[in-house]
């Protein structure tokens, strides 16, 4: 009995002394594409939830939502390369539960929007985490959609201390009926959306 109590005390002490998950950082950001023109992107990793050892990685794209142009379809795309760092002895896992996309839309009833997100660390570039969503109109006002990873996709994991992250977001709208009045199909800019994914903080 005394041995069991001693082991329990040691276990509690070890848990108390365990290091808390450190704060990941993102920097060295470069980006390009119609969804994130010059000055049109912000990126941040929020504070760590010490209960779950997770944080939120958030991208805001100033021109993400597709609207109907003169050819009946539009594509918005943003490629982002950045450096994700974390303290020695730790690594991060991204997109294990998908990406939440939130913004304003004015997609007509005769159109379909296709959303796609992809993540990879350049050190293991052959491993990607991809989420896709197809949604039909009408979509008006504030919209929140979840881009769920494909079956078997458990996200991507960095090397210890982080790595170079490559992210791509795409949004395409395709219109079925090209007979609508041209004034109703003019592409509009300034459709800002926020895309958020979980960052799981893991010991190496």
pLDDT band for position 15 (cuts 50, 70, 90) = very low
- Spell out the residues 6+ positions from residue 84 whose beta carbon is closer than 8 angstroms to its own: 24, 25, 26, 45, 92, 158, 162, 163, 164, 165
Domain boundaries, the chain: 21-203
- The DSSP code sequence of 99-154 is EEEEEEEEE-TTEEEEEEEEEEEGGGTT--EEEEEEEESPEEEEEEEEEPBPTT--
Which residues are paired to 159 by β-bridges?
162
Task: Specify the pLDDT at position 70.
Answer: 56
User: Residue written as tokens 């010059």?
Assistant: 38
Average pLDDT over residues 188-197: 80
Task: Specify the pLDDT at position 107.
Answer: 87
92 pLDDT above the threshold of 70: yes
pLDDT band for position 178 (cuts 50, 70, 90) = low
DSSP label at 159?
B
Rounded CA-CA distance 150/31 in Å is: 25
The Cα angle at residue 182 between residues 101 and 169, in degrees rounded to 5: 20
Task: Specify the pLDDT at position 187.
Answer: 40
Q: What is the mean pLDDT of the chain?
A: 86
DSSP label at 36?
S
84 pLDDT above the threshold of 70: yes
Rounded CA-CA distance 102/41 in Å is: 15
The percent of residues above 90 in pLDDT, for the chain, comes to 68
Longest dimension (CA), the chain: 84
Interval 122-164: pLDDT, tens: 999 999 999 999 999 998 899 999 999 988 899 999 999 999 9
């Amino acid at each position: 009995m005394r041995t069991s109590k001693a082991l329990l005390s040691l276990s509690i002490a070890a848990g108390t002394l365990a290091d808390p998950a450190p704060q990941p950082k993102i920097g060295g950001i470069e980006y390009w594409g119609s969804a994130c023109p010059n000055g049109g992107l912000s990126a941040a990793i929020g504070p760590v939830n010490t209960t779950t050892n997770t944080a939120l990685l958030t991208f805001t794209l100033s021109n993400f939502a597709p609207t109907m142009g003169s050819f009946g379809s539009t594509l918005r795309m943003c490629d982002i390369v950045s450096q994700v760092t974390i303290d020695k002895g730790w690594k991060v896992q991204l997109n294990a539960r998908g990406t939440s996309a939130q913004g304003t839309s004015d997609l007509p009833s005769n159109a379909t929007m296709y959303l796609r997100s992809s993540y990879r660390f350049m050190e293991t570039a052959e491993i990607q985490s991809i989420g896709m969503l197809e949604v039909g109109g009408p979509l008006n006002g504030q919209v929140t959609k979840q881009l769920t990873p494909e079956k078997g996709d458990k996200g991507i994991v960095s090397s210890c201390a982080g790595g170079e992250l490559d992210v791509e977001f795409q949004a395409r709208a395709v219109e079925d009926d090209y007979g609508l009045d041209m004034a109703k199909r003019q592409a509009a800019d300034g459709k800002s959306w926020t895309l958020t994914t979980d960052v799981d903080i893991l010991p190496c």
